[in-house]
Amino acid sequence: MAEPRFVAPSSLEAALDACAAPGAVALAGGTSLAVLLRSRLVEASTLVYLDHVPELKRLRATDGLLRIGGGCTYRHLARSGEVAVATPELARVAGRVANPRVRSVATVGGALAHADPRQDLPLLLLALGASLRLATAGSTRELPLEGFAFGLMETALGEGELVVEVVVPSPVGRHVAYERFTPASDEDFPTVAVAAVADRDADGSLVGLSVAVGAAASAPFLVPDPVSLLGGGDPVAGIEAIAEAAADASAPVADRHGPPAYKRQMVRVHVLRAVRRALAQP
Partner 1 sequence: MRLDVPLVETGAGAQTAARSLAADAFGLDEGQIEIRQVATSELPPDPGVFGSRTTTALAVALDQAAERWRVSGGDGELTVTVAEPPGEGLGSYSVQVATVAVDPVTGSVRVLELVSAVDVGAVVNARAHQMQIDGGAVMGLGFACLEDADESDGMVFGATLAEARLPALRDLPRLRTVLVPGGRGVGRRNVKLIGELTNVPTAAAVANAVADAVGVRVRRLPVTAAAVHAGLEGCPGAAP
Partner 2 sequence: MRVAFTCNGEPVEVEAATDASLLEVVRALGLTGAKSGCEVGVCGLCTLLVDDLPVSSCVQLAPCVAGREVWTAEGIARRAPELVDAFVEAEAMQCGICTPGQVVTAFAAAAEGLMAGSQELVGYLSGSLCRCTGYQTILEAVEAYLARG
Please give the residue ranges that form the binding site for partner 1 (CB under 8 A): 181, 183-188, 191, 254-259, 261-262, 265-266, 269
CA 115/CA 125 separation, integer angstroms: 13
99 forms part of the interface with partner 2 (CB under 8 A): yes
Query: In the bound complex, what is the minimum distance in angstroms from residue 216's beta carbon to partner 2?
Result: 23
Comparing CB distances to partner 1, the nearer of 134 and 192 is 192
Among partner 2, partner 1, none, partner that 266 touches (CB below 5 to 8 angstroms by kind): partner 1
Q: Is 9 in the site for partner 2 (CB under 8 A)?
A: no
Task: Based on the shown chain and the rule CB under 8 A, indicate whether residue 237 belongs to the binding site for partner 2.
Answer: no
* 90 closest CA partner among 134, 50, 129, 146: 129
Q: Is 94 among the residues that bind partner 2 (CB under 8 A)?
A: no
Q: Identify which of residues 3 and 63 has a Cβ nearer to partner 2 in the complex.
A: 3
What's the closest the beta carbon of residue 227 comes to partner 2, in angstroms? 35
DSSP string of the chain? Answer: -PPPEEE--SSHHHHHHHHTSTTEEEESS-TTHHHHHHTTSS--SEEEE-TT-GGGG-EEEETTEEEEETT-BHHHHHH-HHHHHH-HHHHHHHTTSS-HHHHHH-BHHHHHHH--TT-HHHHHHHHTT-EEEEEETTEEEEEESTTTEEETTEES--TT-EEEEEEEE--TTEEEEEEEE-SS-TTSPPSEEEEEEEEE-TT--EEEEEEEEESSSSS-EEPS-HHHHH-SS-HHHHHHHHHHHHHHH--PPPBTTB-HHHHHHHHHHHHHHHHHHHHH--
Q: Is 3 in the site for partner 2 (CB under 8 A)?
A: yes
Residues 104-143 vs partner 2: string with x where CB under 8 A? xx--------------------------------------
Stretch that binds partner 2, among 1-9, 54-62, 216-224, 232-240 (CB under 8 A): 1-9
CA–CA dist 218, 151 (Å, integer): 5
Using the rule CB under 8 A, give the single segment among 46-54, 199-207, 211-219, 253-261 that binds partner 2.
46-54
Pick the closer one to partner 1 by CB: 122 or 190: 190
Of the pair 156, 269, the CB lying nearest partner 1 is at 269
Cα angle 36, 40, 45 (rounded to 5 degrees) comes to 95
Q: Return the one option of partner 2, partner 1, none that residue 184 interacts with (CB less than 5 to 8 A, by type).
A: partner 1
Residue of the chain from 88, 100, 183, 224 that contacts partner 2 (CB under 8 A): 100
Residue 38 lies near partner 2 (rule: CB under 8 A): yes
Q: How far apart are CA 44 and CA 109, in angstroms?
A: 19
75 binds partner 2 (CB under 8 A): yes
Q: Which residues are near partner 2 by CB under 8 A?
A: 3-6, 8, 27, 30-31, 34-35, 37-38, 47, 49, 51, 75, 96, 98-102, 104-105, 186-187
